[in-house]
Amino acid sequence: MHLHILGICGTFMGSLALLAKELGHTVTGSDANVYPPMSTQLAEAGIELMSGYEPEHLQPAPDLVIVGNALSRGNPAVEYLLNQGLPYTSGPQWLCEQVLPGKWVLAVAGTHGKTTTASMLAWILEFAGMAPGFLIGGVTQNFPQSARLGETPFFVVEADEYDSAFFDKRAKFVHYRPRTLIVNNLEFDHADIFPDLAAIQRQFHHLVRTVPSEGLIINPEADAAVEQTLAMGCWTPRDTFALADTDAPWQARLINADGGHFELLHNGQPLAEVEWALSGEHNVHNALAAVLAARHVGVSPPIAAQALSQFGGVKRRMECLADIHGVRVYDDFAHHPTAIETTLAGLRAKVGTEKIIALIEPRSNTMRMGVHRDRLHHACADADAVFWYQPHEAEWDMAETVAHSPVPAKLMRGIDELIHGALTLAEPNSHLVIMSNGGFDGLHQKLVDQLRRHTL
């Protein structure tokens, strides 16, 4: 069968394409924005990519068109497939019908940490010899691809609350029907489709309704928004977790303040230690959730701890791109003020007094709309300096964020200006953190290239 995927370079749709290819389908795809790491994965898998959304991409007619949620009415390819009566479906619906039947689905949901936690969980199962399938919205360092079918019934999926398609406004995750569900945290996001946090909580309630009574829901002890959601109705046993010094049955105690070494505890009793390359309390939090989900399918916490000690992280999640002249350059997804804050706090705990310079593009739909504008300047308190990049499509002026910054900050409107500013401040033993959930106009490679030519 020939499948054509509209929006194929999105992290979810690109992963879906890999599964379809593994099932033996002929897969092609179109997208307006093509950039690594997803474009690299698809090319290596032999999947033909087409730039733009031209009707000609659907000629001759494929057997099925899978439509990404970034496309809407008025898109030339969408109008063509509707006018021609071509068969089409959404990505989550295709996954539900073609991959997930008969699977023990382990779903990772929440506003933050989905990709990292799902990657940890898939790696723990792999390390334990369980050969899981998975679909993750990012590229983990422990696997060559972001999706595979697997060799056992266990399937890990990153469960996003964003809508499924222009014709199906339900959250993606209601299609997945998990037996094991992680709800890692819950905050307001996706302001382009949800009016408030209550609307998001309603979608999570719909997800909770699909978890069987013999399944398991895993959630942090102290997240008020998660507790409010579960209070709307929960028919499934729960495991709760937290960092140490709480009443949660499952805890992690930091051995190193930066989170690079910690201990797993159950009812106050030590079970195992994890010493790994990651940093930040948020990643320890993610690890606890992954350990408990793996335990539900038979992996003991000590085995999970061994796996986490070999976990290499995820591309675009504080991924170190280069170390030049003693200056480290990182790429981080950073789609929300909380993500910016926890990431920089984790790096600060790791590097002490060394200089941290943040280069931030508020690119997510919610941040472009200015919904979180009052929180952005506080999110950067652990940096020594911040360069804010004003996207052309931003609906608000970021000058106020710069004016109220607790650390030195500048507003930049050009990539060359941004690079010059960062290199002016860079010195040996400093850290340049690029934070954007998009391509940032090629900043990553341009900065690395100029740093190589720069004399500190």
Q: Please tell me the predicted confidence (pLDDT) of residue 319.
A: 86
pLDDT class of 38 with cuts at 50, 70, 90: confident
Q: Please tell me the predicted confidence (pLDDT) of residue 365.
A: 61
Mean pLDDT for the stretch of residues 23-43: 86
Please check whether residues 333 and 302 belong to one and the same domain: no
How do 168-171 and 180-183 pair as beta strands? unpaired
CB atoms within 10 A of CB 221: 16
Kindly report, residue by residue over 396-410, the tens digit of the pLDDT: 677 777 777 888 888
Q: Domain containing 104 — which CATH number? A: 3.40.1190.10
Kindly report, residue by residue over 212-233, the tens digit of the pLDDT: 999 999 999 989 999 999 999 9
Please check whether residues 48 and 141 belong to one and the same domain: no
Short-list 402, 424, 408, 415, CA closest to 443:
415
Mean pLDDT for the stretch of residues 164-180: 96
Instruction: Note whether residue 95 is domain-resident.
Output: no
Please check whether residues 70 and 115 belong to one and the same domain: no
Instruction: Note whether residue 191 is domain-resident.
Output: yes
Q: Domain containing 43 — which CATH number? A: 3.40.50.720
Please check whether residues 205 and 268 belong to one and the same domain: yes
In terms of Cβ atoms closer than 10 Å to its own Cβ (0-12, 13-18, 19+), residue 220 is buried
Q: Please tell me the predicted confidence (pLDDT) of residue 408.
A: 87
Please check whether residues 14 and 106 belong to one and the same domain: no
Instruction: Note whether residue 314 is domain-resident.
Output: no
Please check whether residues 301 and 325 belong to one and the same domain: no
Q: Do 182 and 100 touch, CB atoms closer than 8 A?
A: no
Domain of 104 in residue numbering reads as: 100-308
Instruction: Note whether residue 292 is domain-resident.
Output: yes
pLDDT class of 340 with cuts at 50, 70, 90: confident
Q: Domain containing 438 — which CATH number? A: 3.90.190.20
Q: Please tell me the predicted confidence (pLDDT) of residue 163.
A: 93
Please check whether residues 45 and 136 belong to one and the same domain: no
pLDDT class of 412 with cuts at 50, 70, 90: confident
Q: Do 204 and 109 touch, CB atoms closer than 8 A?
A: yes
Q: Please tell me the predicted confidence (pLDDT) of residue 442.
A: 82
Kindly report, residue by residue over 368-398, the tens digit of the pLDDT: 655 566 677 788 889 999 998 877 666 667 7
Q: Do 84 and 64 touch, CB atoms closer than 8 A?
A: no
Please check whether residues 252 and 397 belong to one and the same domain: no
Instruction: Note whether residue 85 is domain-resident.
Output: yes
| Backbone dihedral angles phi then psi of residue 93, each to the nearest 5 degrees | -65, -40
How do 216-220 and 238-243 pair as beta strands? parallel
Please check whether residues 300 and 329 belong to one and the same domain: no
- Residue that finishes a domain, picked among 308, 330, 358: 308
CA distance 330 to 326: 13
Kindly report, residue by residue over 279-298, the tens digit of the pLDDT: 888 899 999 999 999 999 99
Instruction: Note whether residue 408 is domain-resident.
Output: yes
Q: Please tell me the predicted confidence (pLDDT) of residue 190.
A: 62
| Backbone dihedral angles phi then psi of residue 263, each to the nearest 5 degrees | -120, 135
Instruction: Note whether residue 123 is domain-resident.
Output: yes
Mean pLDDT for the stretch of residues 340-358: 89
Q: Please tell me the predicted confidence (pLDDT) of residue 158.
A: 96
- Residue that finishes a domain, picked among 245, 279, 308: 308
Please check whether residues 333 and 432 belong to one and the same domain: yes
Mean pLDDT for the stretch of residues 444-449: 89
- Residue that finishes a domain, picked among 90, 111, 135: 90
Please check whether residues 432 and 334 belong to one and the same domain: yes
Instruction: Note whether residue 313 is domain-resident.
Output: no
Q: Domain tally for the chain?
A: 3
Q: Do 169 and 194 touch, CB atoms closer than 8 A?
A: no
Please check whether residues 83 and 106 belong to one and the same domain: no
